[in-house]
Chains A and B, each alone.
Chain A
Amino acid sequence: MKLKLFSIIFFLSINFCFAANQIVDENKIYKNLRCLVCQGQSVADSNSDFAQTLKMVVKDLIGQEKTEEEIYHFLSEKYGDWILYKPKFNLENFFLWFFPYFVLITGGFIIVFLIKKRSKKV
């Protein structure tokens, strides 16, 4: 039973790792690209001419075996980082990526500290 369970988990994780490396998912890329014409929509959601053209180019780039990162780099060079819905991890965005975890960890410490201070000494 245990063995079966483990083999399933093992198989799953293998599957997961390979899936992540092999295929570049075009829909995932479209969803991460912000449409410049319609401002508030992703390329996947937009009906604009610009979005249609951008989709064609992304498809071409995938065809040229570019990775997801390379495609993002290519487009952000042309249109600025604004086009990416997932901000790059760089100096300017450090706080954005770091602060939520800081809140999480600090919050945990505050609760532990509070309870330690307040709980009845046995």
Chain B
Amino acid sequence: MLSNIGNLLLFLNIFFSCLIINYSFNCLKISDNIIFKKIFQIGLLQCTAILICFFTLVSAFLVSDFSLITVYQNSHSLKPIFYKISGTWGNHEGSLLLWVIILTFFSFLFLIFNKKHPKDFRLYTLIIQNFLILGFLFFIIFNSNPFSKIDPIPNEGLGLNPILQDPALAIHPPLLYVGFVGSSIYFSAAMASLITNYSNKFFAISIKSWVLISWAFQTLGILIGSIWAYYELGWGGFWFWDPVENASLLPWFAMTALMHSLLVLEKRNLLYFWTIILCLLTFILSVTGTFLVRSGILNSVHTFANDPSRGIFILIFLSLMILTSIYFLFKKYKPINAEINSNSRETFILINNWFMMFYLLTVLLGTLYPIFTDVLTNYKISVGPPFYNAVIIPIVIIFLIFMAIGPQTKWIKNKFSNLKLSFFILCGAIFLNFVIINLFRSYSIISNLVIISSLFLIMSSFFDIFKKPLINFPRIISHISFGFLIFFIGLNHNFSEEKDFNLKLGETIQIDNYNFVFQDLELFQQVNYKAVVGKISVSDTKTKEKRMLNPEIRIYDNPQTLTYEASIQTNFFRDYYLTMSNIDRSEYYNIKFQKKPLMIWIWISVIMLSFGGLLSLFRNAKHN
């Protein structure tokens, strides 16, 4: 029943998309500047249909309709209601439906919110966006249909992987999708702009809000993913440079570069083709990331069920997208000769883009390189955190300094007037750095430079608040937060303490200034799992602080899985982080203990960073 409704709605959506494309082409033939009313109406219908389609799937999960393969594979009748719902987009098929929802809604909203722009630009954006929608609808229907039936109907579902049964992971995909699927709209707009030669600053204005929205959501999505990895995967780390994480970071770099270069296009009517390339690149990277993650050609710690036939489809889609965009880009490209002064805001924004490209290409190369060596030479390697840290971190230092100076400059022609102030700020940053070293302990030269440059950025941006008139408050927020982010990551990295040891029940161990007592082990029966909870007291002989930590080992019933739950105690100064895992055929438990200073401030910095983007969005909406 639900399966039929769902399939019907999918086909209806294909029909609507075709209709919109058809009417749009008809409408283009007429030379006035009015868009047919029926295009808006069908757009609205299309949004409604896809939304109902999605809720059909949600209700299939809610009532545990195991006649659908997707529900059977990812749900269980005994699962809490919240996770039944979030299970809808916690799997490949359901998440694709979420893709299409975002594609559809963005296409409609872009149409109605850009009334000031010419008709042909709006219509071509709509047409291209609908081609993207069609592509994904075909993918859903022919390859990953969430409404596929199973016969005979099983009595019980297989259940959702327990590590995915988590509030953070319930909101992580929607946030991230608004980010990188949202970037599709400026991909379409960029193509439309190339086709209709709508190449001035008004193009920049038309997509600015969309770039800001997707950037802010992408930032938040990445943050939630990191927080989840921090407490759920039991690493005590929050960023692992894993292919799946890189896949979300690549579009972020492109968006960040785009956000800045748009300013140049808006204010100075410059860098048009570069901006277009960035628009196209962002969505192409999003699809590339999806390809890498879903096809299973990279192996990653984040569990995604993989299937090569999906890979083929996404790869064909990706190739078509790349080749069409390259075709239009080459066809329309003409060199523009406008004036740029070496000392101007434009130059500094170019510098931002230069560094973003460096990060982007480094991460892209690191992610893809193992595939290339494997295919070309059969040589299998891993590219992991030590590579990225070694290549990227030294460059961050220079980047932060430029980031501090850039916003002080003026458009067109700049003269540095407060070099003195900058110099004092730099001295202040160096002084603070040595205070930190004196109070705690020393760290490597690179870390020194990272901390000095991040302090320099924070303080430089901070002084901007007092400048009259106060211009661009959102920018200041985001830049300060980015400075804080790097600063806290730097401190966290240098002052984290890590102990790894084996302990059995009743035993006591003293490592450096920490004393661990394995006091007790209890067994609890919960609704859908059994939990073995350890009671481990940690006392710091230096600070006389004593804490009780309760790590868990959980044995889930459906599906049968073992997970390790970290015990984390957070305050504003530090996190205590402890995991316990059983060692096979032994009464010992492996204990990993970490003291991570200022952990919570890393999360707060990213929230503020994203908040800056949202603030800028509201300001932009008010202006236009």
- Spell out A's residues near B (CB within 8 Å): 8, 12-13, 15-16, 19-20, 27, 30-32, 34, 38-42, 44-45, 47, 49, 52, 55, 80-87, 92-93, 95-97, 99-100, 103-104, 107-108, 110-111, 114-116, 118-120
Contact = CB atoms under 8 A, between A and B. Distances in A.
Contacts of B498: 27
B301 A40 contact: yes
A96 B383 contact: yes
Interface string B549-585: 0000000000000001000000000000001010110
Given A93-B381, A107-B358, A86 B237 contact: no
B442 to A, nearest CB: 6
A49 B500 CA distance: 15
Nearest to B585: A49
A45 B382 contact: no
Contacts of A86: 384, 386-387, 390
B109 interface: no
- Please indicate which of the listed interface residues A19, A27, A45, A83 has the most CB atoms of chain B within 10 Å of its own CB: A45
Interface residues of B, number: 55
Interface of B: 233-235, 237, 240, 242, 299-302, 337-342, 347, 350-351, 354, 357-358, 361-362, 365-366, 369, 373, 377, 379-387, 390-391, 395, 434, 437, 442, 444-445, 448, 498, 500, 564, 579, 581, 583-584, 590
Contacts of B237: 45
A58 B430 CA distance: 39
Contacts of B351: 111
A39 to B, nearest CB: 5
For the residues of A in contact with B, the DSSP-based class is helix
A56 to B, nearest CB: 10
B347 A100 contact: no
A115 B340 contact: yes
B426 to A, nearest CB: 13
Contact of B448 (A12, A103, A120): A12
B337 A118 contact: yes
A65 B381 CA distance: 27
B340 A83 contact: no
Counting chain B CB atoms within 10 Å of each CB, the highest count among A19, A81, A85 belongs to: A85
Contacts of A84: 381-382
16 contacts: A19-B444, A41-B301, A44-B500, A82-B380, A83-B382, A85-B387, A86-B384, A87-B383, A87-B387, A99-B361, A99-B365, A107-B358, A114-B350, A115-B341, A115-B347, A119-B341
A92 B500 contact: no
Contacts of B383: 85, 87, 96
Nearest to B584: A49
Given A39-B299, A99-B361, A27 B500 contact: yes
Contacts of B584: 49
B503 to A, nearest CB: 13
A40 B445 contact: no
Contacts of B301: 38-41
A40 B300 contact: yes
Given A31-B386, A44-B500, A87-B381, A118 B365 contact: no
Contacts of B434: 8
Instruction: Give the top 7 A-B pairs by smallest Cβ distance, nearest first.
Output: A85-B384, A40-B301, A86-B386, A47-B581, A100-B362, A45-B235, A107-B354
B395 A104 contact: yes
B366 to A, nearest CB: 7
A92 B379 contact: yes
Contacts of B442: 12, 15-16
Nearest to B237: A45
B382 to A, nearest CB: 5
